[in-house]
Amino acid sequence: MQNINPITIILFIPIMDRFIYPFLRRLGIPFRPITRIFWGFLLGSLAMFYAAYVQHLIYNSGPCYTAPSACPAARLPNGTFAPNNVHVAAQAPVYLLIGLSEIFASITGIEYAFTKAPSSMKSFIMAMFLLTSAGGAAMGAALAPTAVDPKLVWMYAGLAVACLVAGLVFWALFRRYNRSEETMNALEAVGEKMRPVAEMRGAGVGEGGSRSRMAAERDI
């Protein structure tokens, strides 16, 4: 079941890049990076809300209800325990939504961190972005003690609310960067180019000044 997540990412990244994003642009919907990341938060929140709903169904199904696979009524002749009567495929949309969330938030975030960082700081900025994965792993370890029956509904609901709030805060703080997206892309394209010395001298800049100016332009 967990393979649905990487399969979703592998399949949908080229679909989004080649079909969905261009189609939205033709409709006049640019769907810029900050918007994509915001939608990643929303999809992650939706995935956790749905997980809470599925867990609620499990707790309301026999034979063990709030103690799945841990009651005498579920014991099989071979000594193992039967799960509650909810089909395992009910979990599939959770992994699908998480995969789409990663495409919108994580993949776009990696691209944004790399393309918007100055040339001399790209590696550092990428490392700082990936450090957030370590933070997520630490939060997962901290929440592990709560991932026990019958607390799973509240755990998933709490994660959903936290993800939604984080997404709204992110949108409120950073949506303004959507308006300067084209300008920043133009600065990146121009900033990597060195202007010829003759052009700089023609603009009235001395030799020493031209060197410092060209160095500054490379780092824009």
For 191-209, give the DSSP string: HTSPPPHHHHHHTT--HHH
Q: What is the pTM of this model?
A: 0.79
**111 and 81 in a common domain:** yes
Tell the burial category of 21 from Cβ atoms under 10 Å away from its Cβ (0-12, 13-18, 19+).
middle
**208 and 175 in a common domain:** no
pLDDT score of 144: 86
**209 and 166 in a common domain:** no
Backbone angles phi, psi at 139, to 5 degrees: -65, -40
**99 and 63 in a common domain:** yes
Q: Count of residues for the chain?
A: 220
Backbone angles phi, psi at 75, to 5 degrees: -70, 130
Taking each continuous run of H as one helix and of E as one strand, the counts in the chain are 10, 0
**87 and 36 in a common domain:** yes
pLDDT score of 187: 61
pLDDT score of 81: 85
Indicate the DSSP class of residue 150. Answer: T
pLDDT score of 44: 95
pLDDT score of 1: 73
| Other CB atoms within 10 Å distance of the CB of residue 64 | 21
**128 and 195 in a common domain:** no
**124 and 30 in a common domain:** yes
Q: What range defines the domain where residue 74 resides?
A: 4-179
**115 and 64 in a common domain:** yes
pLDDT in tens, the chain (220 residues): 778 888 999 999 999 999 999 999 999 988 999 999 999 999 999 999 999 999 999 999 989 998 888 888 888 888 888 888 899 899 999 999 999 999 999 999 988 888 888 888 888 988 888 888 888 889 888 888 888 888 899 999 999 999 999 999 999 999 999 888 777 766 665 555 544 445 544 544 444 444 444 444 444 4
- How far is residue 6 CA from its own chain's centroid? 13
**196 and 172 in a common domain:** no
Map residue 50 onto helix, strand or coil: helix
**200 and 146 in a common domain:** no
Q: Domains in the chain: how many in total?
A: 2
pLDDT score of 122: 86
**203 and 218 in a common domain:** yes
